[in-house]
């Protein structure tokens, strides 16, 4: 049995595109893993199905109600400002590149990610397992890493922004900012198209020098290609990712030899769907002013923050005393926007305690709360009132099932229960995406973020390890416990 484990995350890989690339012979390593392992083609993502939320769920094994990373863009109530993790370069410019980089590289793992639950790196580090990670949004572990001082790009970065150490896995390679060893590998400051090659290069170095028991091997470029050229183009980027898997495994003598002492999990955080239209950000909702990126309050008018996460968005009523009064109008106006399918919010009792979730579409309204007569496919119990058709669900043999909106109640409840989420959450119709604060969207390309199946179902492969049996669909949250089990960590 293998004693080491690699978790490979291929960002935004669509199950159908993985299957096609393998069938066409474009991904021989993934083909071998599929052939020898167990394949799940419908692992359920988080909602919003965007990378920061999903990456936190993957490394913690928890939803955002516990890990507190609510979106690609969100409003930080305590600091009175937007947090932007890099929807696009132009969006980052609107908020300030320095601030966006600081939020993404430092704050996301430290100030924004809840201290509990622990990450898989922290749990394995505590157990003495040798951990390693290539550039991935989530890296928090128990080992201290100083920023790199070598190389021109690293010098520029280190002299201005990236001056602080971070806590990561035992071996950490993060763009050109952190590198626990000297290698010839360069990431060009994390530019798209170079990032997978950087992972392949440092991954091969770690295999060659036997530097890990557990490695998170991240291949992010597929997401960028699929955003720009559409999900069909993944056939190229999955093939390119496969080459970096081969490169990482090569020092062991190729894939077959590698699998003798390494188990491998391959997964995506979410999928992508083709985009045909963008929803512009509103400057105003009736009677309500939308706070701009520069965070200047308009005088004498109620304010909301509007936070797009591609195919999802969150609206925060800035004065929390006003949120019950303003919410109905926000829900009404949001549902009137062309392309918005769902608006959801939490109903609270007089003391502010959550009472039940509500989801509304043009077709009707659904109320739901944990605990009750009905079960969902993942075994959680619910009481519901109103129209389950709002999320394409129906009840069969006491089970709430929805093909169009996978694990709709569970995922929406996690989003609504997250203390950093907005007051009203939005999810788009098929083909629609919100523009980000830089005015960018991916019309003609691909995107993700919604509660819908087309971007919420991801592939998952287990090869060389027993993933255990489970009832109902897999979630991206189920992978961290499998990894902990593999190493016998409670
Ligand atoms: Zn993406």
Q: How far is the CA of 375 from the centre of ligand 1 (A)?
A: 32
**What pLDDT does 8 receive?**
98
- For the CA atoms of 403, 405, 407, 409, what is the dihedral angle to 10 degrees? -130
Q: How far is the CA of 82 from the centre of ligand 1 (A)?
A: 19
Q: Contact 26/242 with Cβ under 8 angstroms? A: yes
Q: How far is the CA of 220 from the centre of ligand 1 (A)?
A: 9
Neighbouring residues of 352: CB distance < 8 A, sequence distance ≥ 6: none
Closest CA to 440 of 224, 240, 288, 245: 224
Q: Is the pLDDT of residue 154 over 70?
A: no
**160 and 15 in a common domain:** yes
> Which percentage of the chain shows pLDDT scores above 70?
96
Closest CA to 449 of 239, 193, 278: 278
Q: How far is the CA of 207 from the centre of ligand 1 (A)?
A: 29
**108 and 245 in a common domain:** yes
Domain count, the chain: 2
pLDDT tens-digit profile of 217-271? 999 999 999 999 999 999 999 999 999 999 999 999 999 999 999 999 999 999 9
**What pLDDT does 471 receive?**
78
Confidence of residue 297 (pLDDT cuts 50, 70, 90): low
Q: How far is the CA of 367 from the centre of ligand 1 (A)?
A: 30
Confidence of residue 189 (pLDDT cuts 50, 70, 90): low
- For the CA atoms of 209, 214, 218, 219, what is the dihedral angle to 10 degrees? 70
Q: How far is the CA of 126 from the centre of ligand 1 (A)?
A: 32
Neighbouring residues of 131: CB distance < 8 A, sequence distance ≥ 6: 121, 124, 125, 141, 169, 170, 171, 212, 213, 214, 215
**First CA to last CA across the chain, in angstroms?**
20
What residues are paired with 38 via a beta bridge? 462
**What pLDDT does 186 receive?**
86
Q: How many CB atoms lie within 10 A of CB 394?
A: 11
Q: How far is the CA of 377 from the centre of ligand 1 (A)?
A: 27
**376 and 250 in a common domain:** no
CA atoms of 323 and 315, how far apart (whole Å): 10
Q: How far is the CA of 272 from the centre of ligand 1 (A)?
A: 8
Q: How far is the CA of 88 from the centre of ligand 1 (A)?
A: 10
Q: How far is the CA of 307 from the centre of ligand 1 (A)?
A: 16
- For the CA atoms of 437, 442, 447, 451, what is the dihedral angle to 10 degrees? 60
**What pLDDT does 351 receive?**
85
Q: How far is the CA of 87 from the centre of ligand 1 (A)?
A: 8
In this prediction, residues 434-441 reach a mean pLDDT of 95
Q: Is the pLDDT of residue 18 over 70?
A: yes
**331 and 232 in a common domain:** no
Q: Which range has the worst mean pLDDT, 76-85, 183-192, 284-293, 346-355? A: 183-192
Q: Is the pLDDT of residue 4 over 80?
A: yes
Q: How far is the CA of 227 from the centre of ligand 1 (A)?
A: 6
Question: Which residues lie at CB < 5 A from ion ligand 1?
Answer: 223
DSSP 362-421: TTEEEEEEEEEEEEETTS-EEEEEE-GGGGTEEEETTEEEESSSTTHHHHHHHHHH-TTS
pTM of the model: 0.96
Q: Is the pLDDT of residue 15 over 60?
A: yes
Q: Contact 479/61 with Cβ under 8 angstroms? A: yes
Q: How far is the CA of 234 from the centre of ligand 1 (A)?
A: 13
**423 and 301 in a common domain:** yes
Confidence of residue 440 (pLDDT cuts 50, 70, 90): very high
Q: How far is the CA of 455 from the centre of ligand 1 (A)?
A: 10
**What pLDDT does 367 receive?**
98
**183 and 326 in a common domain:** no
Q: Contact 489/429 with Cβ under 8 angstroms? A: no
In this prediction, residues 390-397 reach a mean pLDDT of 95
Closest CA to 476 of 2, 11, 103: 11
**100 and 55 in a common domain:** yes
Q: Is the pLDDT of residue 399 over 90?
A: yes
Three-class secondary structure of residue 21 per DSSP:
helix
**61 and 24 in a common domain:** yes
Q: How far is the CA of 488 from the centre of ligand 1 (A)?
A: 33
Q: Contact 405/453 with Cβ under 8 angstroms? A: yes
Q: How far is the CA of 320 from the centre of ligand 1 (A)?
A: 31
pLDDT tens-digit profile of 64-122? 999 999 999 999 999 999 999 988 989 999 998 888 989 999 999 999 999 999 999 99
Q: How far is the CA of 301 from the centre of ligand 1 (A)?
A: 34
- Quote the domain boundaries for residue 469: 4-274+452-486
**What pLDDT does 300 receive?**
63
Q: How far is the CA of 12 from the centre of ligand 1 (A)?
A: 6
Q: Is the pLDDT of residue 140 over 70?
A: yes
Query: How confident is the prediction for the chain on average, in pLDDT?
Result: 93
pLDDT tens-digit profile of 320-352? 889 999 999 999 999 999 999 999 999 999 888
Q: How far is the CA of 382 from the centre of ligand 1 (A)?
A: 31
**430 and 288 in a common domain:** yes
**Rounded to the nearest 5°, which phi and psi values hold at 461?**
-125, 130
pLDDT tens-digit profile of 164-185? 899 999 999 998 889 999 998 9
Q: How far is the CA of 131 from the centre of ligand 1 (A)?
A: 26
CA atoms of 488 and 124, how far apart (whole Å): 10
**What pLDDT does 381 receive?**
97
Q: Which range has the worst mean pLDDT, 173-187, 361-375, 456-470? A: 173-187
**What pLDDT does 87 receive?**
87
H-run or E-run covering 166: strand 166-168
Q: Which range has the worst mean pLDDT, 98-102, 189-193, 410-414, 430-434? A: 189-193
Q: How far is the CA of 406 from the centre of ligand 1 (A)?
A: 19
**What pLDDT does 490 receive?**
80
Q: How far is the CA of 72 from the centre of ligand 1 (A)?
A: 10
CA atoms of 301 and 391, how far apart (whole Å): 34
Q: How far is the CA of 4 from the centre of ligand 1 (A)?
A: 29
Confidence of residue 296 (pLDDT cuts 50, 70, 90): low
Q: How far is the CA of 89 from the centre of ligand 1 (A)?
A: 13
**469 and 414 in a common domain:** no
Higher-pLDDT residue of 312 and 350 is 312
Q: How far is the CA of 204 from the centre of ligand 1 (A)?
A: 26
**344 and 292 in a common domain:** yes
Q: How far is the CA of 226 from the centre of ligand 1 (A)?
A: 8
Closest CA to 284 of 304, 308, 299, 300: 304
Three-class secondary structure of residue 357 per DSSP:
strand
Q: Is the pLDDT of residue 294 over 90?
A: no
Q: How far is the CA of 310 from the centre of ligand 1 (A)?
A: 8
**Burial class of 30 by CB neighbour count within 10 A (0 to 12, 13 to 18, 19+):** buried
**What pLDDT does 13 receive?**
98
**463 and 411 in a common domain:** no
Q: Is the pLDDT of residue 468 over 90?
A: no
Structure tokens at 141: 């572990």
> Where do the DSSP E strands lie in 62-152?
73-76, 81-84, 131-133, 143-145
Indicate which CATH number applies to the domain containing 252: 3.40.720.10
**What pLDDT does 413 receive?**
98
Alpha carbon 83 to its chain's center: 15
Q: How far is the CA of 268 from the centre of ligand 1 (A)?
A: 11
For CA atoms 336, 338, 342, 346, give the dihedral sign: negative
**What pLDDT does 131 receive?**
98
H-run or E-run covering 425: strand 424-428
CA atoms of 185 and 134, how far apart (whole Å): 11
H-run or E-run covering 22: helix 15-23
């Amino acid at each position: 049995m293998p004693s080491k484990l690699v978790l490979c995350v291929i960002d935004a890989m669509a199950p159908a595109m993985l299957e096609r690339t393998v069938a066409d012979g474009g991904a021989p390593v993934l083909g071998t893993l599929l052939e020898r392992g167990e394949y799940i083609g419908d692992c359920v993502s988080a909602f919003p199905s965007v990378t920061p939320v999903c990456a936190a769920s993957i490394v913690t094994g928890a939803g955002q109600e516990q890990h507190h990373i609510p979106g690609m863009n969100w409003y930080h109530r305590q600091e009175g400002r937007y947090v932007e993790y890099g929807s696009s370069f132009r969006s980052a410019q609107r908020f300030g590149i320095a601030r966006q980089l600081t939020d993404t590289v430092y704050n996301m793992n430290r100030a924004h990610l809840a201290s509990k639950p622990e990450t898989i790196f922290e749990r394995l580090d505590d157990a003495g397992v040798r951990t390693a990670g290539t550039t991935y949004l989530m890296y928090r572990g128990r080992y201290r890493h100083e920023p790199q001082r070598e190389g021109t790009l690293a010098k520029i970065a280190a002299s201005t922004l990236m001056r602080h150490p971070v806590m990561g896995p035992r071996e950490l390679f993060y763009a050109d900012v952190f590198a626990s060893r000297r290698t010839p590998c360069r990431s060009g400051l994390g530019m798209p198209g170079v990032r997978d090659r950087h992972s392949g290069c440092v991954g091969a170095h770690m295999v060659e020098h036997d530097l890990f028991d557990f490695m998170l091997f991240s291949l992010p470029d597929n997401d960028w290609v699929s955003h720009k050229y559409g999900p069909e183009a993944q056939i190229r980027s999955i093939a390119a990712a496969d080459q970096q898997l081969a490169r990482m495994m090569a020092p062991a003598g190729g894939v077959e030899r590698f699998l003798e002492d390494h188990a491998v999990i391959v997964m995506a955080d979410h999928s992508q769907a083709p985009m045909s239209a963008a929803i512009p950000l509103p400057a105003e909702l009736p009677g309500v002013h939308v706070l701009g990126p520069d965070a200047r309050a308009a005088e004498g008018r109620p304010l909301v923050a509007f936070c797009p996460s591609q195919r999802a968005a969150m609206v925060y009523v800035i004065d929390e005393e006003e949120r019950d009064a303003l919410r109905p109008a926000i829900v009404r106006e949001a549902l009137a926007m062309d392309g918005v399918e769902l608006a959801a919010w939490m109903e609270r009792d007089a003391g502010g305690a959550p009472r039940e979730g509500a989801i509304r579409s043009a077709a009707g309204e659904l109320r739901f709360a944990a605990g009750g007569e009905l079960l969902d496919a993942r075994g959680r119990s619910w009481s519901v009132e109103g129209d389950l058709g709002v999320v394409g669900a129906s009840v069969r043999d006491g089970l709430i099932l929805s093909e169009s909106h996978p694990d709709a109640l569970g995922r929406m409840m996690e989003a609504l229960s997250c203390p950093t989420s907005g007051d009203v959450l939005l999810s788009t119709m098929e083909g629609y995406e919100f523009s980000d604060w830089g005015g960018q969207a991916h019309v003609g390309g691909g995107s993700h973020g919604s509660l819908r199946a087309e971007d919420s179902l991801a592939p998952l492969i287990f090869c060389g390890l027993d993933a255990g049996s489970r009832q109902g669909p897999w979630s991206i949250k189920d992978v961290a416990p499998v990894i902990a089990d593999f190493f016998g960590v409670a």
